[in-house]
Structure 1
């Protein structure tokens, strides 16, 4: 039996260490102030007056000191980059008639495969059962046809359905007028459309001719955070601007209709979805306070390595059918990209206690050559909520194991994947919306969004909640939030 008393003592010892190290400077300053106050209280009024007089302060010195302090403070504030706020965001929710269950997918595959390909069909049935998707994920109308009929017209109709619905919800929630938007960034994993998706949005809402618009393609599931990074730089150069980022996953033309096993797997993961995000340098808009403040953005790119560059590829199969190919090295590549990202992010967000332990471990292994295991910092001390890209159970499990997260800390990611599937870069916002709908987002909470993208990229965004989110659940979780967290069968794990 374990010695529970020693475990409790170790727990409180660690807690005391964290408090002492994380608040070391404050502890020293408080000690000095207490000492000075005690000395002042023990001194007589005459001694205090005599001490003040011996300092020889005159009015000119006081004025010059005040002016210098104000001048330095002003320079410091002017040199700081503008803070970027997330005013509000909205996620797309597809109508019920577009639900695409595992049974529906199996029926589509049966139309494609026959004879020798039955082995692939059995394989996909096993994958579909174990992947952990719910029965209410959605596909666009063209994929519901028997057989599927993906055309450019159907693709544009899907884009209008997803993007316009998300933007209409954002305008309703935030009070933003489309003509007040100065920067528009639309990102989609794979959508080759002319005119561009950003031009389609500008035309729909008759936005100003001076708007700065960008259309970002091919960035995979990290496209949303890459777009926010671009917007951050634009807002710091133009502080009075209002910016909107639209992230969408359009499935019409990328749904694979061939027979290659490795290219059929993405059909089990990806589903349609989208989100619209309103960003500004003002902490309120239309008398409504901004929800979040952007603290950090950290991006790591490993495309210099051939294995990383080639692990997610859009290509034709031997029969010329277009689809997404996933390498067997994908999880290993994602793990390496995550480690590089953590190395850059850690010094920015970890408390002093964790940085100190990591430094000691590093010195012991590299200088004294001790055979210690590498110390993995406890990122749970830096963040309250975790939004891991809902790329599938394997991705979520990998990040959970690496960061030693609890079931509750990955609940938002698993729930978003079960209900909506892998909606590419917009999945982060379905997860953020889940945390809000559960009433867990409180003022001061820090949120860590982790995204992965082809190339291969790992992107981290750190937000701080400005105000406690108190209003009742809204779309897309309005009618199902009470059903989560759901019990995923053991086979799905």
Structure 2
């Protein structure tokens, strides 16, 4: 203090001012710092074995319902054979009813079977009571009944009347990651820490397509039954019990572009049959959306060294006069993450992501395996992939994990997680009993026959 008093006033004033600015900056950052949000646990629905569907069941249903011509049946058989789906996915209950009609009753049955089962499993193993839930986010793109799915869960589990509930529809396969983002934002906006329950599903009963439009028939071949529930919390004392910490989220929406908006569309065909059309533009749109998405995400997650390497590669390509090669360059995201739960909505989409991002077979193995075992379960697919990592015991404390999903509209959403402990499969992990069969070996190359 005595030494400061001896300093000349022109030196002392700037020194004190700099100190005050520094303290103000630190204080502002501390006040603005968001409370950490943790993934306490999650559960994925594993339907009964009697709901398993294979090509034989699909062909039987197609013949008995008498809605499809031979040409349409051949087309769906071809799509199924190239889809990447295995023989143990799960179909909605109306497929086995013998009535061959999609009704509201079957849609509600499908929703209740999946949603109620995963919530019961999750709450039981997380030591959390329904009365502890502060935020409820329920997402289903193609089924929005009254009362809502959120109300159905509130009623079934007798939750508090002050729960902040959100029913999310029309978000497509991105609804799972969007639900996590919504839950985290809602928790952080509250004055006191709490628990948020995120429940995601898809409902295929009312959107099974009985028409002739080939763009709409594809969904019959790849969409399957699946649900997941995740419990996120910002209660500090639950950190030792949590599996992952949410590092950041990112949502980008590309609906201003006509091709992106119309890439996946719920509609009626010329004969009034309701379904979902997946256009040929879908893969291209997904690739374009991913490029724009990672342009924002990259600087937030990549190390500086990789950003510099990426800038050097782009500059070198431009200097060589190869603008196409420069535009095709992407950073190496394997320097930012150890694990990837990428969108596994279809074989073509997985191939496109792998090609664009430079991912090898090992990186996309969980996505391909999930598609093969469970099909496209829409919003819950990233949680089935996460369960695959845990079943394989690959996640270690400190590992970083990227969840990426695309949705109709067209949108992309990322959740970035950091593992808080080594992962092991829970008793209700849907991969228990079958993970030893994965990854599935690639099919042998077709034999060529030489003719004289």
Q: Is the 8 A contact 2:65 2:100 kept in 1?
A: no
Higher alpha-carbon Rg = 1
* Aligned mate of 1:109, from 62, 78, 95: 62
> TM-score, normalised on structure 2?
0.89
Give ranges in structure 2 of 5+ residues lacking alignment: 6-11, 13-17, 447-452
Any residues of structure 2 matched to 1:277-316 within 5 Å, and which? 277-285=230-238, 288-316=240-268
- Over residues 35-67 of structure 1, what are the superposed CA-to-partner deviations in whole Å (9 max), with x where a residue is unaligned? xxxxxxxxxxxxxxxxxx9x9479xx9xxx999
Alignment coverage as a number of residue pairs: 436
Q: Residue 387 of structure 2 aligns with which residue?
A: 433
CA distance in 2, matches of 1:171, 1:114: 42
Question: Are the structure 2 counterparts of residues 120 and 288 from structure 1 closer, same or farther at C-alpha, using a change threshold of 3 Å?
Answer: same
Using the TM superposition, give the Cα deviation of residue 359 of structure 1 relative to its aligned residue in structure 2, in angstroms. Answer: 2.6
Q: Residue 448 of structure 1 aligns with which residue?
A: 402
Q: Is the 8 A contact 1:130 1:491 kept in 2?
A: no
Any residues of structure 2 matched to 1:84-483 within 5 Å, and which? 84-112=37-65, 117-238=69-190, 239-285=192-238, 288-363=240-315, 370-371=321-322, 373-374=325-326, 375-470=329-424, 474-483=428-437
Question: Are the structure 2 counterparts of residues 195 and 491 from structure 1 closer, same or farther at C-alpha, using a change threshold of 3 Å?
Answer: farther
Using the TM superposition, give the Cα deviation of residue 446 of structure 1 relative to its aligned residue in structure 2, in angstroms. Answer: 0.7
- Over residues 120-176 of structure 1, what are the superposed CA-to-partner deviations in whole Å (9 max), with x where a residue is unaligned? 221211221221211111112112233422211221111111001000110122111
Question: Are the structure 2 counterparts of residues 114 and 421 from structure 1 closer, same or farther at C-alpha, using a change threshold of 3 Å?
Answer: closer
For residue 89 of structure 2, give the secondary structure of its aligned residue in structure 1: coil
CA distance in 2, matches of 1:324, 1:471: 35
Question: Are the structure 2 counterparts of residues 351 and 68 from structure 1 closer, same or farther at C-alpha, using a change threshold of 3 Å?
Answer: closer
Using the TM superposition, give the Cα deviation of residue 76 of structure 1 relative to its aligned residue in structure 2, in angstroms. Answer: 2.5
Using the TM superposition, give the Cα deviation of residue 489 of structure 1 relative to its aligned residue in structure 2, in angstroms. Answer: 2.1
For residue 215 of structure 1, give the secondary structure of its aligned residue in structure 2: strand
CA distance in 2, matches of 1:423, 1:387: 14
CA distance in 1, matches of 2:199, 2:415: 16
* Aligned mate of 1:76, from 11, 29, 54: 29
CA distance in 2, matches of 1:491, 1:395: 22
CA distance in 1, matches of 2:296, 2:67: 50
- Over residues 376-408 of structure 1, what are the superposed CA-to-partner deviations in whole Å (9 max), with x where a residue is unaligned? 211111110011121011111111111111211
Give ranges in structure 1 of 5+ residues lacking alignment: 1-52
CA distance in 1, matches of 2:149, 2:409: 22
Using the TM superposition, give the Cα deviation of residue 236 of structure 1 relative to its aligned residue in structure 2, in angstroms. Answer: 1.3
Q: Is the 8 A contact 2:41 2:230 kept in 1?
A: yes
Using the TM superposition, give the Cα deviation of residue 74 of structure 1 relative to its aligned residue in structure 2, in angstroms. Answer: 4.6
Question: Are the structure 2 counterparts of residues 491 and 135 from structure 1 closer, same or farther at C-alpha, using a change threshold of 3 Å?
Answer: farther
CA distance in 2, matches of 1:356, 1:322: 50
* Higher mean C-alpha displacement, 103-112 vs 458-467: 103-112
CA distance in 1, matches of 2:107, 2:80: 25
